[in-house]
Homo-oligomer: A and B are copies of this chain.
Amino acid sequence: MKTPVTIDLQRASRLLKLLGDPTRLTMMKLLKSHECCVCEFVEIFKMSQPAISQHLRKLRDIGLVKEERKGQWIFFSVNESHEDYPFIESILGHLPDQNESIVELESQGLRVCCK
């Protein structure tokens, strides 16, 4: 019988603390299905650009997201090779999908399409 994959309690609490912010949690759920860049999040969350950058930095510092520059934009996406990704994924799986934000963004012509 296999022991289920477990995650150290200290590490788990650090991750949960990061996800325990509505902005960051929504970001992760969004990023799970869509790469996004900072300026898109600014629109979605109606929040200042630095505030968005700071949230993303926290997520990146702990390895939950990765970034890729494409021209003048930096696209963020979920880092699926994070050691604790299965844990994260199981949490995100319980959340309602946030496609509406993306659809709305597109309908406003604000979705960044990297040409």
The smallest C-beta distance from A33 to any residue of chain B, in angstroms, reads 14
A9 sits at the interface (CB 8 A): yes
State how many copies of this chain the complex holds.
2
Docked Cα-Cα span, A10 to B24, in Å, equals 11
Q: Is B93 a contact partner of A4 (Cβ separation < 8 A)? A: yes
A13 sits at the interface (CB 8 A): yes
Dominant SS among interface residues on chain A: helix
Report how many residues on chain A are interfacial, defined by Cβ distance under 8 Å: 30
A45 sits at the interface (CB 8 A): no
Q: Is A21 a contact partner of B25 (Cβ separation < 8 A)? A: no
Which residues of A approach B to under 8 Å, CB–CB? Answer: 4-10, 12-22, 25-26, 29, 86-87, 90-91, 93-96, 98
